Amino acid sequence: MAREFPLERLRNFGIVAHVDAGKTTTSERVLFYTGMSHKIGEVHDGATVTDWMEQERERGITITAAAISCNWSKTEVVDRKDKSQMYTFNIIDTPGHIDFTAEVKRSMRVLDGAVVVFDSVAGVEPQSETNWGYADEAKVPRICFINKMDRLGADFEKSYKSILERLSKKAVRVQLPWGGEENFKGVIDLVKMKAYTFTGEMGTLITEVEIPDELRADAEKYHAELVEKVVEHDDTLMEAFLGGEMPTLEDLKKTLRKAVLANQLFPVFTGSALKNIGVQLVLDGVVDYLPAPTDLADVKGTNPDSGEEETRKHSDDEPLSALAFKVQDDKFGQLAFFRVYSGTVKAGSYILNATTGNKERVGRIVRLLADKRTEVEEVYAGEIAAGVGFKEVKTSHTLCDEAKPIVLEQIVFPNPVVAMRVEPKTRNDQEKMGMALKRLADEDPTFKVSTDDETMETIIAGMGELHLEILVDRMKREFGVEANVGAPQVAYRETIQREAEADYKYAKQSGGRGQYGHVKIKIRPMQPLPEGETVPKNTTRDDHYEFVNSIKGGAIPNEYIPAVMKGCKEAMARGFVAGYKMEDVTVELYDGSFHDVDSSEIAFKLAAIYAFKEAAAKAGAVLLEPIMKIEVRTPEQFMGDINGNISSKRGQVIGMGEIGEKKVITATVPLKEMFGYTTSLRGMTQGRASMTMTFDHYEVVPPNVAADIRKARGVKDVEEEA
């Protein structure tokens, strides 16, 4: 089966935004205008296509990223069924709530571009900044869409200014709104210098007209500003422009596209998805300015056999390389979503999972419209699809040609910050709960399941209270597991502040063969790898633990080294300050000794555990807590009460501003102090203030608070233990 559309006419992009910016409403319009849906569903009716989970429809928010494949012909094309004029879109509608931020992060890894949606009243919001940061990390080109221009209080200029101040100075207007609030009529295109109205059924009748006289001066002013910013990115155009020659429309769009692909400019569109104004022109903008796979640099990876860097071109003729970015259980079974970077994948074929080293059979391949499927025989370079029937494929695994193996860069996810205890209600639930938790953890890399070694209780951890609430609800609805849950707890971490050494000899003799293991280790705070450097051969490293084998002359035989590494990692998992997992530690094994008869793996593992505890006592081990960035929007009369309340919670106000008639307070506050804050905020402000919260960083817990945490967990003082 041949590729339907050439690679140059493929666009993989995500729709991202803060909660309630109108992202899912925009996605529904995209489905309607591209012909994938014959009826527009609304979030407030619980009838949207992309929010297909029961929990999403009940709460009116997006929880899981939904994949959509559709075709689009630009609005200027006369015959919109002419396939030679069509483009293929693979779109991912991502969540806006911070608790489901992993969905955005993993989507950014496999997308080529993004449409960032903003509420015209609120402007840039906290999750807008988080998502923008993820896009910066992944170097994803973006276009902006200032939505909801029909809302009371809509202000395009204020929203545009918030993008410049809080996200990037490289944003540039390519449209202006025609009217606003209840008088919002259409948009002014600053590239073509034309105005557009959207009438007929669901805004499908697009009419190009001259710019109204009352907006002509503003349009000319901002058109000149746009041209100035664009010509800076082409020496020939700049020279001609300085000589008084204006660029042609074709040159202007071509140079703007080049700047967008290089992340040098971010075009800003406007409209109202709910009122069916402007969405089609955003889709034209996706075609004009966001990249096709052929615009991207070659894909880099590592040969698992030689350890050397390899590259793959975005081409069907190259060996296969694909990245699994999401695993999902639905009513049809388990799906593994993957992005093909090079080569092709056929249903029924065998491919190599380079991450595990095992072969996998591709049972079936499906393209998706949220929770609906269409089976295909083959997918090509640049495309996004899902496989059915994989046995061991997990998030971040690389799928490739067995004869030409390659491992692509993995997706790094944030650590959970909230934990709670969960127990099954009945014996029957107990059997099902383990399976349900494993499948949910396979789907969501930010959801962790562990067992408390002392109480043997099951602990689940995630990105927030809502995250865990949704997962417990899914356990009940999808797996039939009834469970009791404890109160949310903070996911503290531990680390060390300085270097320390320990020399520990584990020797036991109790008749017959004894046990002997002797290690000398150094521990120190783990440092990030310098850019461009790879992990040395004598070093094993993951995100939060590094083990360096510096043994010389066979002081410890090679077969015992893994036991030492495992022992240190186990000691870190048990913690030292308050029994929480220790992270970001480098352990160097530099000396030791062994016994020809009595040495064993268990002896060296135990020696490593005791040596690590001894070193941690000297290395300034501390407790870390998650610090959240909060943004409170409130009427001015409540600012004093809110600031005082934030201070009482060990919080720090880091900024104040205003949006519309409301004041905005930005602060950092420990997560421990934030449980139930939304309720107390409503009480303080007669229900007139709102708050959003995102994870910011980990910080050392003050000694008095750490002492209370240790006491609550029944742990002795560090000095006493040392």
Q: What sign has the CA pseudo-torsion 63, 412, 409, 297?
A: positive
| Residues 6 or more apart whose Cβ sits within 8 Å of residue 491 | 415, 416, 417, 418, 419, 461, 580, 626
Res 183: pLDDT: 92
Q: CB-side exposure of 50: number of CA atoms within 13 Å? A: 31
pLDDT in tens, 644-659: 999 999 999 998 988 7
Q: CB-side exposure of 67: number of CA atoms within 13 Å? A: 27
Res 44: pLDDT: 39
- Judged by DSSP in three states, 169 sits in coil
Per-residue burial over 126-145, b if 16 or more Cβ lie within 10 Å, else e, is: bbbebbbebbeebebbbbbb
| Other beta carbons within 10 Å of 480 | 11
At 184, give phi and psi (nearest 5°). -70, 120
Q: Cβ(126)–Cβ(155) under 8 Å?
A: no
* Residues of the chain with confidence (pLDDT) below 70: 1-2, 37-66, 95-103, 330-333, 368-372, 453-455, 510-512, 660, 716-722
Closest listed residue to residue 679, CA positions, set 689, 669, 666, 671: 689
Which is it for strands 585-593 and 545-549: parallel, antiparallel or unpaired? parallel
CA–CA gap between residue 44 and residue 47 (Å, rounded): 8
Alpha helices for 619-722 (secondary structure H): 639-648, 677-684, 703-712, 718-721
CA–CA gap between residue 422 and residue 442 (Å, rounded): 18
Q: Cβ(461)–Cβ(446) under 8 Å?
A: no
If you search the block for the tokens 């907006």, which residue do you land on?
215
Res 53: pLDDT: 42
- Judged by DSSP in three states, 51 sits in coil
Closest listed residue to residue 90, CA positions, set 395, 455, 337: 337
Q: Cβ(384)–Cβ(67) under 8 Å?
A: yes
CA–CA gap between residue 622 and residue 606 (Å, rounded): 23
Res 670: pLDDT: 93
Tell me the one-letter amino acid at 713: R
Q: CB-side exposure of 352: number of CA atoms within 13 Å? A: 17
Closest listed residue to residue 145, CA positions, set 115, 166, 190, 180: 115
Alpha helices for 549-600 (secondary structure H): 561-574
Q: Cβ(21)–Cβ(125) under 8 Å?
A: yes
Q: Cβ(605)–Cβ(563) under 8 Å?
A: yes
Res 50: pLDDT: 39
| Other beta carbons within 10 Å of 415 | 17
Residues 703, 678, 46: CA angle, nearest 5 degrees: 135
| Other beta carbons within 10 Å of 364 | 17
Res 63: pLDDT: 37
CA–CA gap between residue 360 and residue 352 (Å, rounded): 6
